[in-house]
């Protein structure tokens, strides 16, 4: 290649699926951490998060085609992480890799945790996650 040209990245066939991949279930938790990071640090209006997840749900259930929804760059990044996490969760359940957790938490603690996220108080949210045994 001549010196005045730059190689472009690879092109992926978006009409096909990757098969035969083995992925450790730890990635489900890792994707959850990335998702929480994006929700707490990249979404400016925390009150918009429930509506955003309703949009995601409509895509995943097939009620809405992905091409019919216009995402911001941040929303598209969050959707990518969320959809991948949901796929891995579904596969983990199908393969019997999930153990039912009978642990319960107080509704007030959950409200406090959600409030910390809405206020973008990451330290408080992390403390509450630890207290509730969710981290």
Global pTM? Answer: 0.73
Q: Which residue has the higher pLDDT, 19 or 3?
A: 19
| pLDDT at residue 42, as a whole number | 92
Give the position of tokens 């969050």.
Answer: 78
pLDDT of res. 95? 96
The yes-or-no verdict on residue 98 having pLDDT over 90 is yes
CA distance 61 to 91: 16
What is residue 133's predicted lDDT score, i.e. its pLDDT?
Answer: 77
Interhelix angle 26-41/107-118, nearest 10 degrees: 60
Which position has the token pair 């925390």?
Answer: 46
What are the φ/ψ torsions at residue 120 (nearest 5 degrees)? 60, 30
What is the reported pLDDT for 1?
A: 53
98 CA to centre of own chain: 18
Contacts (Cβ under 8 Å, ≥6 apart) of 35: 78, 81, 82, 85
Does the pLDDT of residue 17 top 60, yes or no?
yes
Q: What is the pLDDT of residue 27?
A: 95
First to last CA, the chain: 49
pLDDT in tens, 19-69: 989 999 999 999 998 998 899 889 989 889 999 999 999 998 999 987 788
Q: Residue 2: which pLDDT band, with cuts at 50, 70 and 90? A: low
């Amino acid at each position: 290649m001549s010196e005045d040209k730059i190689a472009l990245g690879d092109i992926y066939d978006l009409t096909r699926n990757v098969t035969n991949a083995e992925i450790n279930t730890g990635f489900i938790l890792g994707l959850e951490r990335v998702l929480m990071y994006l929700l707490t640090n990249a979404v400016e209006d925390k009150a918009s998060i429930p509506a955003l997840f309703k949009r995601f749900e409509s895509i995943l259930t097939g009620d809405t085609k992905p091409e019919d929804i216009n995402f911001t760059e941040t929303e598209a990044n969050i959707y990518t992480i969320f959809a991948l996490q949901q796929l891995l969760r579904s596969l983990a359940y199908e393969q019997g890799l999930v153990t039912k957790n009978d642990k319960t938490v107080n509704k007030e603690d959950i409200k406090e945790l959600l409030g910390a996220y809405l206020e973008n108080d990451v330290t408080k949210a992390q403390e509450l996650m630890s207290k509730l045994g969710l981290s």
